[in-house]
Amino acid sequence: MNKKVTLKGKTILAVDDEPDILESIQEVLEGCAVDTAQDYGSAMELLNSKTYDLAVLDIMGVQGFDLLKTAKAKKILTVMLTSHALSPDNFAKSMDGGADAYLPKNKLAELDVFLDDVLNDDRQKPGVLGVWFDRVKGYYEKKFGPGWLDEYKGSWH
C-alpha cells in the first residue's frame, strides 16, 4: 500500500484519559506535532489557544462529543477513537456530530494510515463515509453484525 506523506509536520490534538493511549498516539504519529490532554478542561484550553490540523478524541472520560462540537466549529478534521464507547449508536452520534472518522482503539497502530485517509479523502460528497471506513468495514461487520449500518441514516450515509 502506497502511503502519502501528508501527516509530516501536521499539528494534532490527541485527547484521552489514558496516558498510555496518548503515548501510543505520539509514537504512531512521529513526525507530527502532537499536543495531548487527559481531560475536557485541558483539551478546551488547547482548542481555544492553538490551531490544529486534526483532533483525535476519545469519547468516554473526556466529554468527547462536546469536544467534537468545539473542534468542528473551529473547522478541525476530527477522528473519534474509542474502545468502551464502540457501538453503532456512538458511531452514528459521532458521524451526525461531524466526525470525519470513527475508529476502534485496537486499530491504534494504524492511526497514521487512517489520518492520512481523512486528510486525503473527499468526504464532501453526501452518503460517502470514505476510504478510512473501507479499511474498518469488515471489523465493524464482525463486531456489530452484517447490515448494521442499514438502520442508521444521516447525511453521512
Q: 3: left (phi > 0), else alpha (psi -120 to 50), else beta?
A: beta
DSSP characters over 102-131: EEEGGGGGGHHHHHHHHHH--TTSTT---H
Q: Cell digits for 61? A: 472520560
Domains and CATH numbers, the chain: 11-146 (3.40.50.2300)
Question: Tell me, what's the pLDDT at 124?
Answer: 52
Question: Tell me, what's the pLDDT at 3?
Answer: 47
Q: What is the mean pLDDT of each run of 10 residues along the chain (157 residues)?
A: 67 97 96 96 97 96 96 95 92 92 94 91 63 91 89 68
- 68 in Cβ contact with 94 (< 8 Å): yes
- Residue 12: which H helix or E strand, with range? strand 11-15
Question: Tell me, what's the pLDDT at 157?
Answer: 59
The CA-to-CA distance between both ends of the chain, in Å, stands at 27
What is the Cα gyration radius of the chain? Answer: 15
pLDDT in tens, 13-57: 999 999 999 999 999 999 899 999 999 999 999 999 999 999 999
